[in-house]
Amino acid sequence: MEGETFLWLIRHAPVDGIKGTIHAADAPADLGDPRPLQALRQHLPKGAASYASPSRRTVETARALGLAPELMPEFSEQDFGEWTGRRHDDIAAEGDEAYARFWSDPAHGRPPGGESFEDQVVRARLGLARVGAGPATLVVHSGTIRAVLCIALDLTPEAALRFVIDPLSLTRIDRLASGWRVVSVNQRIS
């Protein structure tokens, strides 16, 4: 990759849906309060390339920020397979052994028909390779931002899962000739 890349990673707005649910890609964003979007918009670079996961909530958030992103499936949230659309509490209450096994090793465990966080890191690396030099905004998911932090900081997947990434937070990372630089993580703009 020629040149340096300056990334503004934004987690999408909260999901307009039932809390505790493993939301599908078509889950909408809750954009009812324009104030955090207006504040965040002021911190984004003008004229930057823009990318987003193809999920509805990321696309809606990007558009509410005034962006017209290129959709990149490499930046999708982790695929939870058969658990998608279900509530965590319901799956746990059923005594699903696969669910218990997954949470004993969430970095490497795979939900039935899904992917591990480690798989998501591999996918995110492929997406980052497609982002060219210069400033870029990425409207993505908490897992995607953790995956990028895993790559930038050369962390184990287990360590990267420790980051808290709130809705509409800003994480700044630069890919420089000398390596990665993390400017901020989970910055709440108000």
Average pLDDT (41-55) is: 97
CB atoms within 10 A of CB 124: 25
Q: How much is the pLDDT for 21?
A: 96
Residue type (1 letter), 6: F
pLDDT value at 1 more than 60: no
Domain parsing of the chain, residue ranges: 5-188
Average pLDDT (42-64) is: 97
pLDDT value at 8 more than 70: yes
pLDDT value at 57 more than 60: yes
* Mean per-residue pLDDT of the chain: 96
Q: Report helix angle 117-130 to 142-152, nearest 10.
A: 70
Reported pTM: 0.96
The answer to whether residues 124 and 148 touch, using CB atoms and an 8 Å cutoff, is yes
CATH number belonging to the domain at 5-188, selected among 1.10.150.20, 3.90.1180.10, 3.30.540.10, 3.40.50.1240: 3.40.50.1240
Q: Is the dihedral of CA 120, 22, 85, 128 positive or negative?
A: negative
Q: 52: Cβ–Cβ under 8 A, 6 or more apart, which residues?
A: 58, 59, 61, 62, 67, 69, 70, 71, 72, 75, 138, 139, 140
